[in-house]
Amino acid sequence: MSIISDDNEFQTNVHEVKAKKNPVTKPEKIECDRNFENCIRPKSFDSYIGQSALKDTLKITIEAAKKREQPLDHLLFYGPPGLGKTTLAGVIAQEMGVDLKITSAPALERPRDIIGILMSLKGNEILFIDEIHRLNKVAEEILYSAMEDFYLDMTTGKSQTVKTLRVPLPKFTLIGATTKAGELSGPLRDRFGIIHRLEFYTEKELAQVITRTAGILNIEIDEKGANAIARRSRGTPRIANRLVKRVSDYAIVKNNGKINEDIANTALDILKIDEFGLDTTDRSLLRLIIEKYDGGPVGIETIAAAIGEDVRTLEDVCEPYLLQSGLLQRTPRGRKVSPAAYRHLNYHTLKQNSNQQTLF
């Protein structure tokens, strides 16, 4: 499989990296450090941990497409950042034995951007569009006929001399990824054959991700150490991988590079990541609602302005896990914290109508 992408994310694979050995300078490790993301990204269903329902569906779909000698149906993956949408597109291309072109909606601003990319596709190729909810109307309309009939409808000339051209395209598969499925237009959503939400990972699955990553990066970690990091990884492999690196730095300085439960917990405490995996921004958000707005509800714009974060970061990065873990609730009048958030942050009292009432 050759993969063409703006950031060359998939171009080197782990086996190639491992093959470049030199006992003196250990270049394979340096290479892996530089291409951290690329090095640890699973390339096949076997190394892609979790999401078992989705993987089972995809395996069948891929086998059927291969038997029919047809490209796969268009696929849409949605879910919070870092759960493996882009990685899965790479795995699918690998399993189908076809090329993958990666782009993202903000890069397809002008009609010629999307037309150019569609016209450059070869038969059966996969086109991956990240952040597909951010496609503009024109690009979206161009995609409709491309996805449905594998045609590009183009107009040439001006006013009275205007002509419509139908340019045939090779059959291709579009994989769209978004953190905001709700912002996708109905007609675009309906053109995807498979729509699937990626779920947060369990602690057990994250411990497997951590052990796998540690193995690739030659980091020594025991089972309890992996579990300790998994517990604070917010159900997200990208965070788990990031924390393994940070904890490994601490272990190199304090424990000959070995990660055990104690080392993991101490390093994560120093990083100010608590037992729920919350970081300082998450805690500021919850504290603000508790202390300044009596637990809410309060609008997201007000929260963003008060803690100096951007609304999109709060909505896309902080909120999904806070909502999923039941610490935050979304109501029509704004965000509210739950009793669990009070307990977690050690607030034993809640102000109500100026009277201090002990609730918990």
Structure tokens at 34: 């530089």
87 vs 325 by CB, closer to ligand ATP: 87
* Residues β-bridged to residue 328: 337
Min separation Cβ 83 and Mg ion, Å = 9
Residue closest to Mg ion, measured at CB: 86
Contact positions toward ligand ATP, by CB under 6 A? 37, 40-42, 48-51, 81-87, 130, 177, 179, 209, 237-238, 241
**What does the angle CA 247 – CA 249 – CA 255 come to, to the nearest 5 degrees?**
85
238 tagged catalytic? yes
Among 173, 179, 211, 236, which one carries the catalytic annotation? 179
235 vs 295 by CB, closer to ligand ATP: 235
Choosing among Mg ion, ligand ATP, none, which partner's interface includes residue 263 (Cβ < 5 to 8 Å by kind)?
none
Please give the biggest Cα pair distance in the chain.
77
Min separation Cβ 82 and ligand ATP, Å = 5
**Could you tell me how many residues of this chain bind Mg ion (CB under 5 A)?**
1
Mark residues 44-83: x for contact with Mg ion by CB under 5 A, - for none.
----------------------------------------
Residue of the chain from 38, 51, 86, 103 that contacts Mg ion (CB under 5 A)? 86
86 vs 325 by CB, closer to Mg ion: 86
164 tagged catalytic? no
39 vs 143 by CB, closer to ligand ATP: 39
CA distance linking residue 56 with residue 76, whole number of Å:
16
Choosing among ligand ATP, Mg ion, none, which partner's interface includes residue 344 (Cβ < 5 to 8 Å by kind)?
none
Min separation Cβ 328 and Mg ion, Å = 24
179 tagged catalytic? yes
Among 86, 103, 211, 213, which one carries the catalytic annotation? 86
Say if residues 96 and 143 touch (Cβ distance below 8 Å).
Answer: no
Choosing among Mg ion, ligand ATP, none, which partner's interface includes residue 41 (Cβ < 5 to 8 Å by kind)?
ligand ATP
Choosing among Mg ion, ligand ATP, none, which partner's interface includes residue 229 (Cβ < 5 to 8 Å by kind)?
none
91 vs 98 by CB, closer to ligand ATP: 91
85 tagged catalytic? yes
Catalytic residues: 85-86, 130, 179, 238
Residues near Mg ion, by CB under 5 A: 86
